[in-house]
Structure 1
Amino acid sequence: MLDDFLVRATLAGVGVAIAAAPLGCFVVWRRMAYFGDATAHAAILGVALSLALSTSVFTGALAVALIMALTVSMLTGRGYAMDTLLGVLAHSALAFGLVAVSFLKGVRVDLDAYLFGDILAVSKSDLAVIWSGAVLVLVLTIWRWSALLTSTLNPDLAYASGIDPKREQLVLTLGLAMVVAVAIKVIGALLIVALLIIPAASARPVTRTPEAMALCAAVIGVVSALLGLRASFLWDTPSGPTIVCVAAVIFLGTNLSARLGLGKL
């Protein structure tokens, strides 16, 4: 069954969507979209380094994405506005990554595959990495759900409850780096944040509780992946961008339904 490239692509899309959904909710609640964007852009530098060192792309992307996220966390509040800091680091890392790739001799690099994703080229080993990462992210999120939610809603309440918001920030950072690393082959560095925030933003107007929002976001992400792949196959369009387009249409639909007062889950 896994010898069929469409089956592998479908499983890869579903795995990434499920992993991205709950973290995407926290990205929306904490207004961290630019933070995720910076982490995703930095992953290109990780891809270049992994190819230069002949190591796993997943390992390189994860390492650099994690370093970027930790750097931003440490530098926050030290004289730079958050949007300025993220803008400098994100675009610098992306530029250094693209320049580093140009120095790789004898290595054929399809930049479009890493920038916009190449889900149809996912191999069995890629699938194993994607689902392993997705399971780790889900386990981490479920384990820290209550603490992450409390520190997101009210840091003072978190301190009073014995929860360190900075520690939970690091947990969220680790999860985001993991999602970026597993998603870069599927959706691409430039579209990863779209799959993080659009399903979550789509679920927000039609749900009443954080748990319902996370579950609804996962369903929307999976539906976007399935319909996007189907549309891509039928109309011969790029798979990654098509998945994001479907998610955007669903976002429009849920917001319209909320404005029409059709009820919440």
Structure 2
Amino acid sequence: MTLLDDFMMRAALAGLGVALAAAPLGCFVVWRRMAYFGDATAHAAILGVALALAFSTSVFIGALAVSLAMAMTVSALSGRGFAMDTLLGVLAHSALAFGLVAVSFLSGVRIDLMAYLFGDILAVSVGDIAVIWGGAALVVGLVLWRWQALLTATLSTDLAYAAGINPRREQLVLTLALALVVAVAIKVVGVLLIAAMLIVPAAAARPLAGTPERMAAIATVIAAISALGGLGASFRLDTPTGPTIVCLAALIFAATSLADSMLARQRGSSAR
């Protein structure tokens, strides 16, 4: 019996893979205030799942294709007279609704919709782990390769142009990475919680970090602790694993925010 024959070991590896992929990218989502962008991309994945099952192809490929199409659509429509929060809200909820309706038309195909909405980390296979870690490696590679350019474009488009960097190209890199994370994470935390795994660890890391690089590193550690701790807690408490992982990340966010607030208050008192 190998280590990968144990379902808890497979679940732990899957959680770590998603943490590795989501946390550094989540920092850019937080810095660029793209939370709704992540939501719209994630919600579109359900339509990808339905299409993949209808055409008997890989769920990963279906989710990736539709998530990428949604992300590209949002990028193309941004800055064309639409209020961004309204546009993203419409696209996110419409994509989820069309996906759920499409799933209802799949006759003869058994599908556990809750597993795709909230994740089913305990059911991941060795093949799923290979896909998750392969996707995570691609995302981390993309982010590391374009780190400085992405950071410059995030700080200021004028600064990016002055440095010879095309902000639209960097937006495209983020779009591709985001679609990859959604396709990778759908099995672990589900479409409704993917945005949380992108945003919450990065937001929790923000008060603890003095540099962007440190924030990305701390966010990755927090995401890994949330994945492993949430997995262990859900096993002991018999709670749904995906939501438990996000709950632990939220508690860490609350703790770091409270600590930061108390330190700021102490500094204010000593300054007087």
Q: Is TM (by shorter chain) over 0.5?
A: yes
Alignment partner for residue 228 of structure 1, among 227, 230, 234?
230
Count of paired positions:
263
Partner Cα distance (1:230, 1:124) in 2: 20
Give the distance between the partners of 1:59 and 1:205, measured in 2 at CA: 37
Match of 1:257 in 2: 259
Identity %: 74
What is the match of residue 205 of structure 1?
A: 207
One-letter amino acid of the counterpart of residue 2, structure 1:
L
Secondary structure of the residue that 1:2 maps to in structure 2?
helix
Match 1:171 to one of 173, 189, 196: 173
Residue type of the alignment partner of 2:58 = S
1:144 counterpart (146, 150, 154): 146
Q: TM-score, normalising length from structure 2?
A: 0.95
- Indicate the SS of the match to 2:146: helix
1:79 is displaced (CA, Å) by 2.0
User: How far 1:260 sits from its partner (Å)?
Assistant: 2.3
Map of 1:19 onto structure 2? 21
Secondary structure at the aligned position of 1:260 is classed as helix
Aligned residue type for 1:153: L
Structure 1 unaligned segments of length 5 or more: list them.
none
2:163 maps to 161
Aligned twin of 2:46: 44
| Secondary structure of 2:263 counterpart | coil
Corresponding position: 1:129 with 2:131: yes
Q: What is the aligned partner in structure 2 of residue 35 from structure 1?
A: 37
For 2:86, the equivalent position in structure 1 comes to: 84
Q: Deviations over 1:22-76 (max 9, x none)?
A: 1000000000000000000000000000000000000000000000000010011
The CA distance in 1 between the partners of 2:228 and 2:262, in whole Å, is 27
Q: What corresponds to 2:5 in structure 1?
A: 3
User: How does the TM-score come out when normalised to structure 1?
Assistant: 0.98
2:176 is paired with a residue whose SS is helix
- 1:257 deviates by 1.4
1:109 aligns with 2:111: yes
Q: 1:132: how far off?
A: 0.1
CA distance in 1, matches of 2:64, 2:49: 9
Moved over 3 A (4+): none
**Paired residue type of 1:55:** T
Q: Once the 2 structures are TM-superposed, how far is the Cα of residue 146 of structure 1 from its aligned partner?
A: 0.2
1:15 is displaced (CA, Å) by 0.4
Q: For structure 2, which runs of at least 5 residues remain unmatched after alignment?
A: 267-272
